[in-house]
Structure 1
Amino acid sequence: MVTLLLTDVPVDIDRDSARRAAAEELSDPKYRDAQPNILQQVAQWLGEQLEKLLNGLSSVVPGGIFGLLLVLVLLIVLVVVIRLRTGKVARASRADRLVFDGQRKSAADYRRSAAEAASAGRYDDAVRDRFRAVVRALEERALLDARSGRTADEAAIEAGVLLPNVADELRHGARLFDDVHYGGREGTEAAYTTLTELDERCRREKPVAMAGS
């Protein structure tokens, strides 16, 4: 009976004793194990900040959160396009767009093979070889140095400096070559005729450095 009465008496614990008791209880390993580690805390904080940011932006972007997601997708697409046009991918693609992809032939040989292809209706080959004839003839006249790795655009720009009267035609011819050889477009009789005329004009033109002689 005495024991029962003692257990019913409320225990008066002062503030310091209660603080020590709480500290001892919380120091139990089971509480430490239940707490998130530092990485979990950081991840939770970042998630909260991102949620606040998205909520804030969605309130000013038309369409709310869906409009914001659309804007983000468009930004990602824009970045990818810029990288493709100016980054390593673009440079690698440009490096493959060469005029000569094998052993060079003479300009006369390219003209002959272009004419044969055109007669057979193979205008893809005719366009390719006729433009190569243009570039090879310029190399044979020492207006272009015979080096590997030159693209059609580079050949047109370099030659256009010395042959300004046909500079625009050279650039147009380079586009015709690239469209057929690298762009997958079909060669046409009109394109072949344009390159044939360009070849003849380049053969008649004198470079600006020799115009006065």
Structure 2
Amino acid sequence: MNLAGGVLTAVRSSALSGDEPPVTIPRDPAREAARRELSKQMYHENDPSLVQRALDAVWRWIGKLFDSASGATPGGAVGLLVVILAVLAVGAALWWRLGTPRRQPASAAPLFEDGPRSAAEHRSAAEAHAAQGHWNPAVQERMRAIVRALEERALLDARPGRTADEAVAEAGRALPSHTDELRAAAGHFDDVTYGGRDASEQSYRRIAELDHDLERARPVLTSSAHSTAHHTSQGAAE
């Protein structure tokens, strides 16, 4: 509705009819009168809400952004859609392969979290978990059995707070032919304990086989290992 135009038309009609002398209304007051008229609620009952206007503005911005991107992509909108689908597919593949990202600890936790137990006790606990198909605790207990057995044979110092990586690094000096298997076992332990990965029956069987092999393995006595064995024998004699 153009109220200003209506007012001016009424003035012209009145002037032409000759009933009354023409009244001249300046443009600015006429515009102000029209503004006040149009500001009434009756003219805005069907206007979109503030939220709807905001959403419309966002969608217009997204549409402009999409148009700009499709214009810069070979193949236009179809090419952009292909690129987006490819990125989503790569992201899904990485998520499936690596799993949910987890925050890694600042430093590895000790290998033995509870009180001291013998290698036989750790092996028994590992076999109990394996019998139930609980491969994560089975791997953890079998790795602890390996390290405890090396301590019992005086190939490692019985040191609280040792991590799995530290243990295999020290054990590899006395058992160099099993260094790779020890590192792989420590890697499985770390993946399960700190990395949020799930162990498999195959990984547990490999660690259990390593445990059996180490029981029969003859160590290479380096100076440090020899010193440890010497002090242990002296302590036993005393």
Q: Distance in 2 between matches of 1:187 and 1:170?
A: 12
Q: Which runs of 5+ in 1 are unaligned?
A: none
1:172 aligns with 2:184: yes
Q: 2:166 aligns with which of 144, 158, 163?
A: 158
Q: Percent identity over the alignment?
A: 29
Q: 1:67 aligns with which of 82, 87, 90?
A: 82
Change (3 A) 1:139 1:49: farther
8 Å Cα contact 1:162/1:208 also seen in 2: no
Q: How many residues align?
A: 190
Which residue number in structure 1 is paired with residue 200 of structure 2?
184
Q: What root-mean-square deviation, in Å, do the aligned CA atoms of Structure 1 and Structure 2 show?
A: 5.0
Which residue number in structure 1 is paired with residue 210 of structure 2?
194
Q: Distance in 2 between matches of 1:172 and 1:16?
A: 87
Give the C-alpha shift of residue 70 in structure 1.
0.9
1:44 aligns with 2:60: no
Please, what TM-score do these two structures have when normalized by structure 1? 0.57
Secondary structure in 2 aligned to 1:50? Answer: helix
Q: Which runs of 5+ in 2 are unaligned?
A: 1-12, 229-238
Change (3 A) 1:102 1:47: same
Which residue number in structure 2 is paired with residue 18 of structure 1?
30
Bigger drift between 10-19 and 45-54 goes to 10-19
Q: Distance in 2 between matches of 1:138 and 1:190?
A: 18
1:122-161 to 2 correspondence within 5 Å?
Answer: 131-140=143-152, 141=154, 143=157, 145-147=159-161, 154-155=163-164, 157-161=165-169
Give the C-alpha shift of residue 84 in structure 1.
2.3
8 Å Cα contact 2:70/2:80 also seen in 1: yes
Q: Distance in 1 between matches of 2:145 and 2:183?
A: 15
Change (3 A) 1:39 1:187: closer
Please, what TM-score do these two structures have when normalized by structure 2? 0.52
Secondary structure in 2 aligned to 1:204? Answer: coil
Q: Distance in 1 between matches of 2:117 and 2:48?
A: 73
Secondary structure in 1 aligned to 2:117? Answer: coil
Provide Cα deviations, 1:1-53, integer angstroms capped at 9, x if missing partner: xxxx9698498755234312311212212345554455443322221111111
Q: Distance in 2 between matches of 1:73 and 1:18?
A: 59
